[in-house]
Amino acid sequence: MARMKFYCDAERCIECNGCVTACKNENEVPWGVNRRRVVTIKDGEPGERSLSVACMHCSDAPCAAVCPVDCFYTTDDGIVLHDKDTCIGCGYCFYACPFGAPQFPSSVAFASRGKMDKCTFCAGGPEETHSADEFTKYGSNRIAEGKLPLCAEMCSTKALLAGDADVLSDIYRKRVINRGASVLNWGVQYKKAGIDG
Amino acid sequence: MTGIKDKKSARMRKAVYCCVLSLLFVLAAPLIPYVIDAHAEDVTSSKANKPVALQHPGINLWNDVRQRNEVTQGSSQVKGVDSGILINKTGEDWRRFRMEMLMPYGAYFMAAIVTAIVLFFLLRGKLRLPGGRSGELVCRFTLNQRTAHWFAVGIFWLLGITGLILLYGRFVLIPLLGADGFSITASACKEMHNLIGPLFLLAVLALLVLYIKDNFFNRDDITWITKGGGMFGGHVSAARFNAGEKTWFWLVMIFGFLLCITGLILDFSVFGQGREIMALSHVIHGISALILITVSFGHIYLGTIGVEGTLEGMTTGYVDANWAKSHHDLWYEEMSATAEEQQGIKQSVASSSTKPASSPAGD
């Protein structure tokens, strides 16, 4: 069984935010909610790198562990999803998640948190596959169509990869070898690239 | 001729040596890095006990991302609180605190106090009034004080029960109500907790204003504490409030205000407070709430079935004079001295009736 993962290659990401836009458009995410974001560290300095981040679909997901109503579940593909009908909008998943993935629409009375929204790996939710309910609550279900998440499919530099963890690590291993980071000149290529500056 | 021949052969020999040497060098060339490596290892191992001299090339980037050295604030086109931070480790600390400390130890703490109270009740039973009821009534709490108390009680238990359901419901109530049933319950609890919560600040403020006067510790409290509050027999003098009641008052004040402050931080999440502040607030909120809930069990026990004649002070406002003499003798003496002016002591005609004939002027 596949174990679905995202991987963002810091050597390739150019901070175009195409993944963010693709996600918002594909899933028709409400205003103020961004399931994916690109973070740039050392912006404008030597060694600047960007990474695209969303829900990482953890094996031991902290959000699922702390949820007071136990609304999270993991699919057979290792995708962490949640049930918005059960969610009470308490925000505990937001405190627990290290990546800041859970998002809360604030259009509810007294600006309290609405039901949580997060990246679904374009795998919809617990509603009937491709139903209108599923799309309204969770966005599109590309996995059911045999497609991968649109953010990774749209990535112009193929920095953001999505798919089976074994396949992704093979692709990344080949990239690392091609960059020349072999044992004998370890660090040389990275130094040239300014990553170790 | 021979000389020329010797010269030629000598040159040939040199050329052959050179060829052999360069061939050897070419053959041995791939070994050079290993030689250098072995040499470098010798140097490093002789200088310091560092087994690895090379760092991972991306170590600075990933140390920054993992916030290992300091909090590295990145930037993002997506605007939001903490959106520039890739990995925030405090969430894991908060998860461990909530799941491995707050929930189990909170439950143990509550269970221990309840067990202790049940055991004490079984051993000592209800503490009866010595000499029965006198029929003489003493005004203990004014209407304002009683209103503030019951207002605080209502809010406290509304918040306490909804809070406990949110903390333990997943493990206690989901098996009973099912996921959908518990979701509705939890949603109602969360909304009620968030909407009613700010009112607790009013309740604590009202208690502070109306009760602080008689709750300052003094020298009598030390003797009260050293005698164990009369728990092991014997009579202990006390003023209007004994040291135990004063401690409860200050616990309510300290943890009540902590609960209010942290609760407001958690409730109104629109002022740009980040996850660290929220998680820390939740830690303080949880500890304070469980302390107040557990100690309140003792307060409720002593105020209701534990000690005869106590509850009526908070419901009707009047207590029996014998109760006052027995539990708060210093206060009773003070009251008797100024009885006429304050109309604090009422003589009821029928000794069986505990209701006051009329309300005192101060009510």
Between B347 and A138, the higher pLDDT residue: A138
Mean pLDDT calculated for residue range B272-284: 91
Residues B180, A100: C-beta atoms closer than 8 Å: no
Mean pLDDT calculated for residue range B253-276: 91
In the prediction, which pLDDT does A120 show? 95
Is the Cβ–Cβ distance between B167 and B102 less than 8 Å? yes
Token pair for residue B295?
Answer: 């100690």
| Fold adopted by A4-192 | Alpha-Beta Plaits (3.30.70)
ipTM passes above 0.90: no
Residues A41, B61: C-beta atoms closer than 8 Å: yes
Which pLDDT tens digit goes with each residue over A3-39?
999 999 988 899 999 999 999 999 999 888 899 999 9
Between B329 and B363, the higher pLDDT residue: B329
CATH class assigned to B96-347? mainly alpha
d(CA B58, CA A132): 45
Which pLDDT tens digit goes with each residue over B325-342?
888 888 888 888 876 555
Where do the DSSP E strands lie in A32-97? 37-41, 49-53, 72-74, 80-82
User: What chain A residue is nearest to B61 in terms of C-alpha separation?
Assistant: A195
Is the Cβ–Cβ distance between B83 and A54 less than 8 Å? no
Residues A71, B89: C-beta atoms closer than 8 Å: no
Is the Cβ–Cβ distance between B332 and B153 less than 8 Å? no
Chain B contact for A67 (CB, 8 A cutoff): yes
Task: State percent of chain B over pLDDT 90.
Answer: 42
Query: Checking DSSP bridges between strand A49-53 and strand B345-347, what pairing results, if any?
Result: unpaired
Range from A141-145, B8-12, B230-234 that averages highest in pLDDT: A141-145
**Residues of chain B found within 8 Å of residue A97, distances taken between Cβ atoms:** 91
Least confident window among A118-122, B30-34, B101-105, B280-284: B30-34
pLDDT exceeds cutoff 90 at A71 = yes
DSSP 8-class letter at A141: B
Scanning B236-265 for CB atoms below 8 A from A yields none
Mean pLDDT calculated for residue range A37-45: 91
- Reported as a pLDDT band with limits 50, 70 and 90, residue B228 is confident
Range from A48-52, B88-92, B154-158 that averages highest in pLDDT: B154-158
Q: What are phi and psi of B145, to 5 degrees?
A: -65, -40
Which helix (H) or strand (E) is A164 found in, with range?
Answer: strand A160-164
Token pair for residue A159?
Answer: 């920095």
Range from A38-47, B28-37, B350-359 that averages highest in pLDDT: A38-47
Chain B contact for A58 (CB, 8 A cutoff): no
Minimal C-alpha gap between A57 and chain B (Å): 14
If you write DSSP's letter for every residue of A109-132 in order, what string do you get? GGG---S-B---TTB--SSPTT-H
Mutant choice from A55, A95, A175 vs B, greatest count of B C-beta within 10 A:
A95
pLDDT exceeds cutoff 80 at B312 = yes
A 10 A CB-CB count for B61 gives 21
In the prediction, which pLDDT does A109 show? 63
Q: Is the dihedral of CA B101, B103, B104, B108 positive or negative?
A: positive
Scanning A16-55 for CB atoms below 8 A from B yields 17, 20, 34, 37-43, 47, 49, 51, 53
Chain B contact for A181 (CB, 8 A cutoff): yes
Question: Taking chain A, what is the end-to-end CA distance rounded to the nearest angstrom?
Answer: 41
Q: Determine the 3-state secondary structure of B22 from DSSP.
A: helix
Mean pLDDT calculated for residue range A122-136: 93
